[in-house]
Amino acid sequence: MKCWRRPLRRTGSARASKADHHRCVSRHYQRRKAALDKLRRTIRTIVPRAEECISYAIPAFRLNGKVVAGFAATAKGCSYFPFSGSTLATLADELESYDMTKSSLHFDPAKPLPMALVRKLIKARIAET
């Protein structure tokens, strides 16, 4: 089944059912979940002593009392959060191919972040703490 938006009529007769909505959301969710599970395993490999936690309502990793990495599914894909406003600026040259804000790095679930890049991001974040 395709995930598409039906035009809403004033009578409300063209609304999608809950089952239609669930199928659309779960299909997109599965792609993001697979990418985020891989990222979680990568972070766990890089900083095995880090404690998994929830920070700002997203899954994150805390090392020595400081949150050093986090991730979340977004409407357009996935995001990595270094929990610092300067970590991404430090590695800006290596992150040119990604969309980002001051505090988040956005990536397509079909193209997960490479382990070497995640390692550099975490190393730079730990150096700041």
Domain boundaries of the chain, sorted by first residue: 18-128
**Which H or E element spans position 99?**
strand 99-100
Asked if 39 and 118 count as a contact pair (C-beta separation under 8 A), the reply is: yes
Q: Which CATH class is domain 18-128?
A: alpha beta
CA distances from 12 to 15, 22, 31, 54, 85 (A): 6, 19, 31, 39, 45
pLDDT in tens, 7-47: 444 444 444 455 654 565 566 678 899 999 999 999 999 99
* 89-128: pLDDT as tens digits: 999 999 999 999 999 999 999 999 999 999 999 999 999 9
